[in-house]
Amino acid sequence: MTAVDPVDLTARLIRCPSVTPDEAGALTLLADLLSEAGFECTRVDRNGTANLFARWGAKGANKSLGFNGHTDVVPPGNAADWRFDPFSATEAEGKLWGRGACDMKSGVAAFVAAAVDHVRKTPPDGALVLTITGDEEGDATDGTVALLDWMAETGETISHCIVGEPTCPTVMGEMIKNGRRGSMNAKIVARGVQGHAAYPHRAKNPVSALVRLLDHLARFSLDDGNANFDPSTLALTSIDTGNPATNVIPAQSTAALNIRFNDLHTGESLSQWLHAEADKVAKETGVAFDLKIKVSGESFVTNPGWFTDLVSDAVEVETGRRPVLSTSGGTSDARFVKSICPVVEVGLVGSSMHQVDEHVEIAHIQQLNAIYARIIAAYFDDA
């Protein structure tokens, strides 16, 4: 089989309008290509979400290097606002333009091309495993999670994993992610007693009580960070009463917040803290609070060692820069993969992801493909 051009593969993937949760042919394209190269491919679809598992080498091999990524993309918005059609994969000015060009069809194309190129060199007791989902930009409940559930049921394993998300703020090779903060969302509903604004003593004002609670939460310092993580943050994201009347104290008011937390906390400990603070204000005001909390992922860190060194060495050789190990930014599917093996993220410059006129430098796709190829070779002692 001839080598796969990662730029051409990126373009072909962009032309699949795989707005989450639609597969739109992207995983079918990859499954056909990988099957032709000798990978054993299995579709692991769940609840209408398409996922692909592909392995070359022995099941349960002593050395199994995994790559994880996604082919689903966020909606393009108004196509008229784009310089080029968002699903045309237009090449111009040394860049490839289109929805998913940066996040993260180029990353998937780069590691698929590197894997296909290397399969004939992998040692007999080694395996390359690719897990590619169509649910990263959605609820993330039936994508990588479904793949990991299926792997546990069937005895498939990964020893170490690379997630191909964009990781560089501005310059190729400047950063890899060896961990991520946890993330949780909370919706708070304050329930009081409606009344006339001229007689506030006859009502229980949920707005006042909610503002008191939110002010305390927003002012509170969760921690000062540590060697691996920046300080945890709490951001108020919504306050809504929906009261059109100026002379009525409403019966209910709601708010939402997001917490990004380091490993000094867990989703459970922060949930307990939120409930305790709400209980304090409830006792002070007589207003009841209902909290709905969803933990999107716990914090994690892959400690520096031979694996992070191996990845950093490959990045440095191909870019001339030694990447910084970072746990900054949002969440990714690495938060799920970390439950089965050490994981790091290494990818492109992410400055245009989710934006109108999303694009990627064509040279960067080729560079990332070379980084992944070097990682694979070094992992199997074949550099």
- The 10s digit of each residue's pLDDT in 296-328 is 999 999 999 999 999 999 999 999 999 999 999
pTM, entire model: 0.91
pLDDT of residue 46: 96
Could you tell me the sign of the dihedral formed by the alpha carbons of 152, 156, 159, 162, in that order?
negative
Whether residue 79 has pLDDT greater than 90: yes
DSSP helix, strand, coil percent of the chain (3-state; round to 5):
35, 25, 40
Catalytic site includes residue 72: yes
pLDDT of residue 161: 98
Any idea what DSSP says for residue 102?
I
- The span from the CA of 72 to the CA of 103, in Å, is 9
Domains and CATH numbers, the chain: 6-180+299-379 (3.40.630.10), 182-297 (3.30.70.360)
pLDDT of residue 138: 86
pLDDT of residue 383: 40
Phi and psi at residue 322, to the nearest 5°: -85, 115
Query: 329 pLDDT band (50/70/90 cuts)?
Result: confident
Beta-carbon contacts of 1 under 8 Å, excluding residues fewer than 6 positions away, are 36, 37, 116
Query: 60 pLDDT band (50/70/90 cuts)?
Result: confident
- The 10s digit of each residue's pLDDT in 261-283 is 999 999 999 999 999 999 999 99
Catalytic residue, from 72, 156, 263, 333: name it.
Answer: 72
Query: 41 pLDDT band (50/70/90 cuts)?
Result: very high
Q: What angle do CA 328, 326, 235 make, to 5 degrees?
A: 10
**Amino acid at the residue 224:** D
Helix (H, G, I), strand (E, B) or coil at 211: helix
- The 10s digit of each residue's pLDDT in 214-248 is 999 999 999 999 999 999 999 999 999 999 999 99
- The 10s digit of each residue's pLDDT in 337-362 is 999 999 999 999 999 999 999 999 99
- The 10s digit of each residue's pLDDT in 187-209 is 999 999 999 999 999 999 999 99
Catalytic site includes residue 357: no
Q: Which helix (H) or strand (E) holds 270?
A: helix 267-285
Whether residue 166 has pLDDT greater than 50: yes
Could you tell me the sign of the dihedral formed by the alpha carbons of 114, 120, 121, 123, in that order?
positive
- CB 14, CB 101: distance < 8 Å: yes
**Amino acid at the residue 2:** T
Whether residue 382 has pLDDT greater than 80: no
Phi and psi at residue 266, to the nearest 5°: -130, 165
Catalytic residue, from 117, 135, 136, 137: name it.
Answer: 136
Look at residues 179, 188, 258, 177 and name the one whose alpha carbon lies nearest to residue 222: 258
The helix/strand count (H/E) of the chain reads as 9, 19
The angle that helices 106-118 and 26-36 make with each other, rounded to 10 degrees, is 10
Q: Which helix (H) or strand (E) holds 153?
A: helix 144-154
Phi and psi at residue 293, to the nearest 5°: -120, 135
- From the number of C-beta atoms within 10 Å of its C-beta (0-12, 13-18, 19+), residue 110 rates as buried
Beta-carbon contacts of 45 under 8 Å, excluding residues fewer than 6 positions away, are 51, 146
Look at residues 277, 189, 282 and name the one whose alpha carbon lies nearest to residue 234: 277
Mean pLDDT of the residues in the chain? 96
